[in-house]
Amino acid sequence: MLVLIGILIIIAGFVLRFNPLLVIMASALATGLAAGLDIAAIIAAFGKAFNDTRYVSIIWIVLPVIGLLEAYGLQQHARSLIGRIRSGAVGGLLIGYLLIRQIFAALGLTSVAGHPQTVRPLVAPMAEAAAEAQNPALTIAQREEVKAYSAATDNIGLFFGEDIFLAIGSILLMKGVLDGYGYQIEPLHFSLWAIPTAIAAFVIHSFRLWRLDKRMRAPAERGA
C-alpha cells in the first residue's frame, strides 16, 4: 500500500509545477524506500534502468538535420505548401490543414508546423478570411470560434499523426516502459497501432469542421 506514495508524488509534483525531473527522482526514491530498498539500491536500480533505456533519448540525433533544413527554409516551404490549399470554405480549408498536419507529423516532421510557425501567421487568418467570405456579417464570437478551431485543428493533427512516426518520444517511452516489464517490442508495432486512431481522429474532427462550416454560413444569430 505504501508504495503508492510514488504515484501521489508524481501527481502532486506535476500539478504544483515542480521541475518534472526532480519530481520523478523523488517519486522513485519514495517508492523504493516504501518497498524496503535502501537508498544506494534505489539509485543503482534507477541508474540501471536509465542505462538500459538510453535509446529513448537517441531521437535527438535528428536535430542537426532538422537544423540544417530549417536554416535553408524548410518551414517556409511547408508554409507555402499550406498556403496553397485551395478552398474558399472554412471547413474545407481546415480539413485540408488537418490532413497535411497529420501526414507531416507521421513522417516525423512535427516542427515544420505549429502555433507560432503556421497557425498564427497563416491558418487562422486564412480561416477567418474564408469564413468572412461565406458570411460578411460574421460576429466577433464567430471569429473567435474560427480562430479557436484553427488552433484546435493543429493540436489534433499533431497528436494523432506523430505516433505513427517510428521514433517519436512517446513510442520510445512505451518501448522503454514495457522493456522494464520484460516485453521487448519493436517500435513499428506501436506505430502501426496508432493508425486506426489517426483515421478516427481525422473522421471525427473533419465532421466537426464541416459542422463549423455550416454554422458559419447560417446568418448570425448570436450577438457579439
Partner 1 sequence: MITLGFVYVLAGLTFALFAALGVADRGNPKRFGNAAFWGLLALSMLGGDALGDFGNGLLVLALVAIAGTGQIGRAPGGDVPPEVQAERAARHGPFLLLVALIIPAVALAGTFLFKWLPGLADPKQATLISLAIGVLIALGVGMARLKPPLLLPAQQGRRLLDAVGWAAILPQMLASLGAVFALAGVGEVVGDLIGTAIPEGSLFGAVLAFGLGMALFTMVMGNAFAAFPVMLAAVGMPLLIKQYDGDPAVVAAIGMLAGFCGTLMTPMAANFNLVPAALLELKNPYGVIKAQVGTALPLLGVNILFIWLFAF
In the window 161-190, what residues touch partner 1 (CB under 8 A)? 163, 165-167, 169-181, 183-190
CB of 123 to partner 1, least distance (A): 10
Query: Stretches 82-90, 129-137, 140-148, 215-223: which one binds partner 1 (CB under 8 A)?
Result: 140-148
Cβ atoms < 10 Å from Cβ of 113: 25
* 85-104 residues near partner 1, rule: CB under 8 A: none
Tell me which residue of 145, 146, 162, 147 sits closest to 197, measured CA to CA.
Answer: 162
Q: Which is nearer to partner 1, 89 or 117 (CB)?
A: 117
Angle at 174 between CA 38 and CA 43, to 5 degrees: 15
- Which element (helix H / strand E) includes 141? helix 140-162
Residues 15-54 that bind partner 1 (CB under 8 A): 15, 19-22, 24-25, 27-28, 31-32, 34-35, 37, 40, 42-54
- What the block records as the C-alpha cell of 106 is 507521421
Nearer to partner 1 among residue 57 and residue 222 (C-beta)? 57
Nearer to partner 1, 71 or 137 (CB): 71
Please say whether the beta carbons of 142 and 150 come within 8 A: no
